[in-house]
Chain A
Amino acid sequence: DAGVIQSPRHEVTEMGQEVTLRCKPISGHDYLFWYRQTMMRGLELLIYFNNNVPIDDSGMPEDRFSAKMPNASFSTLKIQPSEPRDSAVYFCASSTGGGNQPQHFGDGTRLSIL
């Protein structure tokens, strides 16, 4: 079975550039989560969607970050403009049932902002 698919796996870009991370959740999952993982802060929830609608975006660090889910099989996390402190591994996860079913994670996008 296909799991959560993220692209690209690695992204290196210069500060000030726009970065777009992509996620395809597991088919049939109605919850989608975006996380950021760094050595300093561990795994942080940025935003999550239910049925393509953003439910809680309180973890989004600032207005430079935005996330969309135009349909049930695709989501994007965009950073514009990017800064070196945005360097991290970004994970997407999906689940059924939100808070009472396990989240299944993709293998992440390693983002480096120079």
Chain B
Amino acid sequence: GESVGLHLPTLSVQEGDNSIINCAYSNSASDYFIWYKQESGKGPQFIIDIRSNMDKRQGQRVTVLLNKTVKHLSLQIAATQPGDSAVYFCAEIAYNFNKFYFGSGTKLNVKP
């Protein structure tokens, strides 16, 4: 039969604008969440993480928000730069159950 590849959602933003990438997670037992950035030809690179006892965590130009009620995670990138163009993955971990899940990813395209 015909195979179907993953169609990554794409977010296109203008350089200098803020970007928001969303992720819905599936396991209510997940208690640790990570955002990764993957550039072409490279492995996923850690950006920021958050534990389930927090709602918000800030890094350099990045903020992660966690809404456990609706099982939603978001990554905000301030003043997006061309170097931010990549695929972004969220990962959820249920530590006590040794379960690790990666989302399918969102492609961020930054227009100069």
Show the binding face of A for B, using Cβ within 8 Å. Answer: 4, 33, 35, 39-43, 45, 48, 55-56, 91, 93, 98-100, 102-108
Contacts and interface: CB of A to CB of B under 8 A. Distances in A.
B98 A98 contact: yes
B14 interface: no
A56 B6 CA distance: 26
Interface in B52-88: none
Contact of B46 (A43, A98, A104, A107): A104
A99 B49 contact: no
Contact of B98 (A42, A99, A105, A107): A99
Given A91-B43, A107-B43, A108-B43, A102 B102 contact: no
Interface residues of B, number: 27
B43 A106 contact: yes
Interface of B: 3-6, 32, 34, 36, 41-46, 49, 51, 89, 91, 93-96, 98, 100, 102-105
Shortest Cβ-Cβ A-B pairs, 3 listed: A105-B43, A99-B95, A39-B5
